[in-house]
Amino acid sequence: HEPLSSLTSLISFCQRNAVVTLGYALTGFVVLTVFLALYYWYRRPKNYPPGPRGIPFLGVLPFLGNYAERTMHKWSKKYGPVMSVRMGRQDWVFLGDHETIRQALVNQGNSFSGRPLIATLDQITEGHGIVLLDYGDWWKRQRSFGFSTLRGFGVGKRSMEDRITEEVAYLNDAIRSHDGKAFDIKSILSNAVSNNISSIVMGRRFEYDDEHSKEIMARLAMWFNDPDTSFFLQILIFMPACVHLPHDKKNIFRVTARNNRRTQSLHTTKTTTENFIDAFLGEQNAENGTDAFTDKQLLHYVRDLFFAGSETSTTLRWTLLCLIHHPEQEKLRKEIFEVLGQEKIPAVDNKAYMPYTCAFMQEVYRYRTLAPFGVAHMTNEDVNLNGYSIPNGTTIYVNLWAVHNNPDVWDEPNKFKPERHLDDKGNFVQSNHVIPFSVGPRHCLGEQLARMEIFIYLVSLVQKFEF
């Protein structure tokens, strides 16, 4: 029995050692895995910009708060104006001051003019349109066509002013119809601005009670004004894998499909030949079947124009809110009455004689940055910026809010003060530190139209009404 007992003890000893050895091996494997994961998470390319990494898989997303632009500005004070940030599982680079933004988007504009491929937005745009189209020959052709066509139909010229002032008359009548009672001006402002785009794109305007037009405006606004939709859209941008969830296709992509079908219906039933769609179709015929000017590209191009135009109505609403909450309204009205009186129709040429009005508008642009990070850029090649090496294909964001709220440039930036844009003699001072439409080759295509609209609408509304 003694040999059998010894053998049993030996087997038991080996089993215990095997369990211990296996435990050590598993512990070592876990430690090595965690180490490699953390090494991969925190490593950066050589000479890459510094910045916060956050936590694995989520990055800094849980720490952005309600005002991501302010959080980024706070971090840039520690890491500098060229800062890398781990968003989800991707590294994005944020530019945090005016000089750095201009160095990148203007001085090295072509190198920073790409657009990153974001799966969610790519399903919306289908690789077409103009705003999110990547930099290249195709984008250059579409951009050149857009600029020349918009100029041809009056953008930046007196003919476009006439269209805007005509629409202002309709807007004023719509406001008067409420007999001085409180009402939500959002919808009629959106329709008024949309009609300016419609006159260029389709050669016609819509009545403010037109159900077709109202639904298009509501659908466009829903992406950013509806809390559920806008929140889910942001999640999809940062976590592209969620794009396959049913909620997305049911509530977001259906919107684009409807708008496209309705735009196509308008296209096929057009009654005028003097519009953007006709110009596009002319290019389509001239191209003789190439993929540059297709029906799909037309639909997405038109969607982008209407979407960009909707931002102008938002700026106008902020402008009116600033009038209500700050005591500048009477100063503005006094200058308008001195230059135009109560009946003369405003024109862009009047700006030269209205320094306070120009200062007021520039302060609205600065005080309320509608798109704090603008539209995402992407590097088209390896670049060097402020001594840092940024690889080709890196997503770039510019913090326009930080530029507009830099205390080294603006005294008390959190206060609304139009006078900051006037010199000692009361002359308007144009500031290159106010860049709501961004800068460089990818600056807003409709900047001229937006500035013209905001000036004429603001002057006309203050001229005719008190808020």
Q: pLDDT tens digit string along 401-416?
A: 999 999 999 999 999 9
CB 82 within 8 A of CB 388: yes
Pair (84, 34) in one structural domain: no
Read off the pTM.
0.83
Mean residue pLDDT of the chain comes to: 83
User: Which amino acid belongs to residue 300?
Assistant: H
- Residue 444 known to bind ligand: yes
Pair (4, 74) in one structural domain: no
For 369-396, the three-class secondary structure string (H helix, E strand, C coil) is CCCCCCCCEECCCCEEECCEEECCCCEE
Strand (E) positions, 309-451? 377-378, 383-385, 388-390, 395-398
State the total domains in the chain: 2
The reported pLDDT for the residue numbered 366 is 97
Pair (152, 17) in one structural domain: no
Tell me whether residue 18 is in a domain: yes
Q: What is the pLDDT of residues 144-191, one digit of tens each?
A: 999 888 888 766 556 788 889 999 999 999 999 988 888 888 888 888
Q: What is the pLDDT of residues 325-372, one digit of tens each?
A: 887 788 999 999 999 998 899 999 999 999 999 999 999 999 999 899
Pair (426, 314) in one structural domain: yes
Domain residues for the domain of 252 are 61-464
Tell me whether residue 53 is in a domain: no
Position with higher pLDDT, 218 vs 310? 310
**442 vs 423: CA distance, rounded Å:** 31
Would you place residue 461 in the very low, low, confident or very high pLDDT band (cuts 50, 70, 90)? very high
CATH (domain of 418): 1.10.630.10
Pair (396, 249) in one structural domain: yes
Pair (13, 146) in one structural domain: no
Pair (128, 191) in one structural domain: yes
CB 334 within 8 A of CB 357: no
Tell me whether residue 105 is in a domain: yes
Q: What is the pLDDT of residues 141-154, one digit of tens each?
A: 999 999 888 888 76
Pair (327, 403) in one structural domain: yes
**291 vs 31: CA distance, rounded Å:** 53
Tell me whether residue 50 is in a domain: no
